[in-house]
Amino acid sequence: MIRSYLVSLLFVLFALLSTGCSEKNYFSPKKVDGTIAYDGKLPAKIVEIGYHSATLENGEVITEKGLLSYHLPKGYRYITQSGNLVVAAGDCRPNILFNIETNSSETIDLGRPLVAGLLMPESNMLAFLIEGNSYGLYNYKEKRIVAKYRSDTALTADIRIASPMLLDQLLLIPTLDGKVVILNKHNGAKIREIIVGKGEVFNNIIFLNVIGNRLVAATPHRIISVSPKLMDAQVMEISDVLFIKDGIYILSKDGTIYHCDTDLKILKSQKFPFAHFVGAISGEFIYLIEKEGYVIATTPDLSSHKIFELPEKIDGWFFATKDRLYYDRYYFKLHR
């Protein structure tokens, strides 16, 4: 599915580029403060990326915990994990529940490939989102669908498809058409829908988190912050969203980083002309990864920054965790 979305993305980009002859501009800093060398090499190159994971060509997986010790069956990509159980999906292959201890798998019959999921702790339930924009609950012990709903058809999606998450007794499922659906986590009964964005293309949820008493969610075109009494929003073209302590950082597609509070009030912004952000990691500084092969290290208050050059441009799969960036088959570790 990810490959089909990329084909759709390339088609749209080609169509846009074909409509005019304007010159393409690239980020080119006047001053570079240093260079960055990769710290090591992965056992295989990255072939798929997800919201919280990257899958390597040899079946190994990278998550926030780093490089994991098992290999998925050939042709599968990581969806979610709980304990020894991993849910994986593949193009033109059945979804599977893979046991990393026994190296065995069983089929999860949902009709179409998974694009996001959550193995719910202390239960036999999988919260799922599949191609075609259907979602619900599946009991993998009883091998039955407990609840299933279908949202509006989404013809295209950004590859950053947010995963379902739990909030007390509630299950939050981000859809491919810009909604967050709230279900009862036990029986899948629908409680509420929150519309985040209404874009015609690439309108899936790319960020979902609960910050204090606020639910924050974003599509590539809009971000919202919802409290029990109020909803705030910002409309902009979004590359990524980063949450640090009590601050939300929005990376926009025009090369601007915005520092906001949890109500999405913009506290400060800094623009880097023509920058194309592909990700960010945080430490003492916020490290913005730029497609032309630069790392912009900015202070959290955006008052100052330094720019470092990577060994190469970011032209392929890129994945960032809290303290590392992975590109192709190399990685750089943030030295705190």
Domain residue ranges in the chain = 2-10+29-333
The answer to whether the predicted template modeling score (pTM) of the entire model surpasses 0.85 is: yes
| DSSP secondary structure string for all residues of 22-61 | PPP-----S---EE----EE-SS-EEEE-SS-EEETTS-E
Cα Rg, the chain, nearest whole Å: 20
> What's the topology of domain 2-10+29-333?
Methylamine Dehydrogenase; Chain H (2.130.10)
Nearest to 301, CA basis, from 256, 332, 270: 270
**Helix (H/G/I), strand (E/B), else coil: 221:** coil
CA distance 120 to 122: 7
Per-residue pLDDT for the chain (336 aa), expressed as one digit of tens each? 444 444 344 334 434 444 444 567 899 999 999 999 999 999 999 999 988 899 999 999 999 999 999 999 999 999 999 999 999 999 889 999 999 999 999 999 999 999 999 999 888 999 999 999 999 999 999 999 999 999 887 766 777 899 999 999 999 999 999 999 999 999 999 999 999 998 767 889 999 999 888 999 999 999 999 988 899 999 999 999 999 877 899 999 999 999 999 999 999 999 999 999 998 988 889 999 999 999 999 999 999 999 999 999 999 888 988 888 999 999 988 765
Q: φ, ψ for residue 155 (rounded to 5)?
A: -80, -25
